Chains A and B, each alone.
Chain A
Amino acid sequence: MAITTTVIGAYPKIGDELPLQALRRALHERDRGGIDDAALDAEFDTGTERAVREMDEAGVDVLNHGCIRWDDLFSSFVRAWRNVSREALERWFDNNTYFRVPVVSGALEVRAPATVREYEVARRTTKRRVKGALCGPFTFARLSEDRHYRDRSALALAVATALRAEVDALGAAGCDLVDIEEPALARWPEDLRSGAVRRVYDVLAQGSRVGIALQLSMFPADAAIEHVAQLPVAQIGVDVRSRPTRVLERISLERQTLVLGVVDARNTKLESPDEIARLVETAARRVDISRLWLAPTTSLEYLPHDIARAKLRVLAEGARTALAAGGAR
């Protein structure tokens, strides 16, 4: 038996060394009209392959495609849907990273799959299991400007409907697990008290063979955790590392896998394997160790490339140390 390790969200698109900056140069070139979209697409694929290879080499068990094509959590979906556009620049929660606010001007319609290409690139680059990555409907609804539905729950439901088409497209491509990143549900846990949450996640999960992993990243999930256990999701991810939290005292999961964010993706300081093992030990008192996965607390893209790689190595080593220590000891 081993403790499964995984990643969440975006991986650094470039590194400091010149050869690792090809994508940055290609984007500049495209802006200047020096290359066409096909050439840029090829560069995105190359960047995705590099990210996947690095995750693979670090020993991560379940990978994603690194979201190399994404400007922000919403950009790929906004570009693939009708009646929504990317507008004003806004700060991404409490991070010095920015996103374009989606402005919804009509009923959301799916034009084309948003992430299948990058999923397929990742699949052919590694023999390891690859999962999909999607934005959360509530996070989209909270952070967008809604000029059409005029109701946050209605917008979240419409986003979930569009995302379900993406889940199905990923399923057809061979994907059996997708992350839904919902930092907004950790930031505004009151949204979990509305009846809409169950409806939204039913839309995403009901009748699908693709498991849903709800990732409550960026903020402590203390106030959210009691409300998510009943959702039809296969996994729940919580940050137990980057800020003080008592979420592990409150968690009670009958069937879901708990994805523990044990390496801080927003601080360069490297965790020791023993620190990770201690977090696993605490979690294993509440959730059977067979249902524990380990992950960074959020997207590794908030770190420089070299540190992100080091964090993945620490993650894999921490999982081995925790297992050797016996989890619940």
Chain B
Amino acid sequence: MTEALLTTTVGSFPKPDYLQRARNQRARGKLSVSELRDLERRATEEWIRAQEEIGLDILVDGEQYRGDMVEYFAEHLEGFRIGGLVRSYGNRYYHKPIIAGKVRRPKPLTIDWFRYAQSLTDKPVKGMLTGPYTMLDWSYNEAYPTRRDACLALAEVVAQEARDLEQAGARYIQIDEPAIHARPEELDIAIEAMHIVTDGLKAKTISHICYGDFAAIYPKVLELPVDQLDLAMANYGYRYLALFDRDPFTRELAIGIVDVHRHETESVGEAAEGIRKGLRYVTPERLLPHPDCGLKTRTVDEAKEKCRVVVDATRVVRAELGAKARR
């Protein structure tokens, strides 16, 4: 029987100070690639241990080797050029890539990291990829005549990576599409691209969606060919759950129960209430509590605290469900 309310996270964790310093040193040419890799591996192991200690069920590698979820892939794919800094919000900036030529994957991008992270734990580790539509939308397209052309080309390289992850033993493959609601009129393109990525995969497939007008793409987004949709909800006061009253939710639901863009963390009681709200729409076996989004913008302590609240809240609700089952 499938376990109830498996807990997980969306993908990224903050980089510890020593790794952040090392990345800065590397950018200035004062640290070798191999020295940086050693520190990235150390940080990855620390996050695997932290997730185990907190009691999360499905783990992530924490993306200690990535700067940004699109930039990392752009750095390693042919056809991309890394552009200058662009602000995303507040005082946060990222290097927005430029699609400057035909996109090609010269070699696997995440497989070694997945293998390494999985070797550190008996719990399942998710393979983490950025979806083709988001890669397109968060890049400047100078090369392809249409956005659809660029998106489908990107889908081919993401598909190669997904197949390699599966071959490497990934039981869960997450293909994030946080930009999927950027242009609701292009949802068909995102779905077409995701078919290229997930068709034929046996691993459980997941797509994370956050920070946008989810109502504008629902229920059509249920056609996205993945097993599980992973949605930010706490940031929105769970208002998007009301959409499921009219059009039932038909996938597994990974539900965000703590806001990741605030320093403060919700109480266990508040987070547990978020899980109970989700249980009105899917069964416990199909509901996975987690933080709203990746935690890389928080401090290490804040990120751990938010994960702890997710796990503690889940234990509260599991106990309630157990008590109900015994009655």
- Do chains A and B interact in one complex? yes
The chain A residues found within 8 Å of chain B, CB to CB, are 12-16, 24, 27-28, 31, 71-72, 88-91, 93-99, 266-269, 301-307
- Residues in A whose Cβ lies below 8 Å from that of B89: 71-72, 89, 97-99
B88 close to A97 (CB less than 8 A): yes
- Residues in A whose Cβ lies below 8 Å from that of B141: 267
Contact with A along B73-102 (1 / 0, CB 8 A): 000000000011111111101001010000
Q: Does B212 contact A (CB under 8 A)?
A: yes
Name the residue on B nearest A301 (C-beta).
B87
A270 to chain B, nearest CB (A): 9
Which of B137, B212, B237 has most A Cβ within 10 Å? Answer: B212
- Residues in A whose Cβ lies below 8 Å from that of B236: 88
B83 close to A307 (CB less than 8 A): yes
The chain B residues found within 8 Å of chain A, CB to CB, are 83-91, 93, 96, 98, 137-138, 140-142, 179, 181-183, 211-213, 235-237, 259, 261
- A24→B140 CA distance, assembly (Å): 23
Between A and B, 8 residue pairs with Cβ closer than 8 Å are A12-B86, A88-B259, A89-B261, A91-B212, A94-B137, A97-B87, A266-B140, A302-B86
Name the residue on B nearest A269 (C-beta).
B142
The 6 A-B residue pairs whose C-beta atoms are closest, nearest first, are: A304-B84, A98-B89, A94-B182, A27-B91, A268-B140, A91-B212
- Residues in B whose Cβ lies below 8 Å from that of A269: 140, 142
- Residues in B whose Cβ lies below 8 Å from that of A307: 83-84
- The A contact surface, by secondary structure, is loop
A94 touching B84 in the complex, CB below 8 Å, given contacts A27-B91, A71-B90, A267-B140: no
A96 touching B83 in the complex, CB below 8 Å, given contacts A91-B211, A268-B142: no
A96 touching B140 in the complex, CB below 8 Å, given contacts A88-B235, A89-B261, A91-B182: no
A304 close to B83 (CB less than 8 A): yes
- Residues in A whose Cβ lies below 8 Å from that of B211: 89-91, 98
A64 to chain B, nearest CB (A): 17
- Residues in A whose Cβ lies below 8 Å from that of B98: 268
- A90→B259 CA distance, assembly (Å): 12
A22 to chain B, nearest CB (A): 12
Name the residue on B nearest A10 (C-beta).
B87
- A129→B52 CA distance, assembly (Å): 61
A152 to chain B, nearest CB (A): 16
- Residues in A whose Cβ lies below 8 Å from that of B87: 12-14, 97, 301
A96 touching B142 in the complex, CB below 8 Å, given contacts A89-B235, A307-B83: no
Other than the known A89-B211, A94-B137, what 10 A-B pairs have Cβ atoms closer than 8 Å? A16-B84, A16-B85, A27-B90, A71-B89, A91-B181, A91-B213, A94-B182, A97-B89, A267-B142, A306-B84
Contact of B86 among A24, A27, A303 (CB under 8 A): A303
Name the residue on B nearest A14 (C-beta).
B85
- A89→B262 CA distance, assembly (Å): 10
- A155→B59 CA distance, assembly (Å): 45
A28 touching B91 in the complex, CB below 8 Å, given contacts A88-B236, A304-B96: yes
A103 to chain B, nearest CB (A): 11
- A301→B96 CA distance, assembly (Å): 12
- A31→B141 CA distance, assembly (Å): 35
- A72→B85 CA distance, assembly (Å): 17
A96 touching B84 in the complex, CB below 8 Å, given contacts A72-B89, A89-B261: no
Contact of A24 among B84, B91, B181, B261 (CB under 8 A): B91
- A24→B88 CA distance, assembly (Å): 13
- Residues in B whose Cβ lies below 8 Å from that of A93: 182
Name the residue on B nearest A96 (C-beta).
B138
A14 close to B93 (CB less than 8 A): yes
- Residues in B whose Cβ lies below 8 Å from that of A99: 89
- A304→B82 CA distance, assembly (Å): 11
- A138→B233 CA distance, assembly (Å): 26
Name the residue on B nearest A95 (C-beta).
B182
Name the residue on B nearest A25 (C-beta).
B91
Contact of B88 among A96, A303, A304, A306 (CB under 8 A): A96
Which of A88, A266, A305 has most B Cβ within 10 Å? Answer: A88
Which of B142, B181, B211 has most A Cβ within 10 Å? Answer: B211
Name the residue on B nearest A30 (C-beta).
B91
A96 close to B85 (CB less than 8 A): no
- Residues in A whose Cβ lies below 8 Å from that of B85: 14-16, 304-305
- Residues in A whose Cβ lies below 8 Å from that of B96: 96, 304
Name the residue on B nearest A71 (C-beta).
B90
- Residues in B whose Cβ lies below 8 Å from that of A89: 89, 211, 235, 261
A49 to chain B, nearest CB (A): 19
- Residues in B whose Cβ lies below 8 Å from that of A305: 84-85
- Residues in B whose Cβ lies below 8 Å from that of A12: 86-87
B326 to chain A, nearest CB (A): 39
- Residues in A whose Cβ lies below 8 Å from that of B181: 91
Name the residue on B nearest A26 (C-beta).
B91
Name the residue on A nearest B185 (C-beta).
A94
- A152→B212 CA distance, assembly (Å): 20
- Residues in B whose Cβ lies below 8 Å from that of A301: 86-87
- A306→B212 CA distance, assembly (Å): 29
Name the residue on B nearest A307 (C-beta).
B84
- A72→B89 CA distance, assembly (Å): 8
B142 close to A304 (CB less than 8 A): no
A78 to chain B, nearest CB (A): 14
B83 to chain A, nearest CB (A): 5
B39 to chain A, nearest CB (A): 22
Name the residue on B nearest A72 (C-beta).
B89
A304 touching B91 in the complex, CB below 8 Å, given contacts A88-B235, A268-B142: no
Which of A28, A89, A303 has most B Cβ within 10 Å? Answer: A89
Contact of A96 among B90, B91, B137 (CB under 8 A): B137
- A157→B78 CA distance, assembly (Å): 51
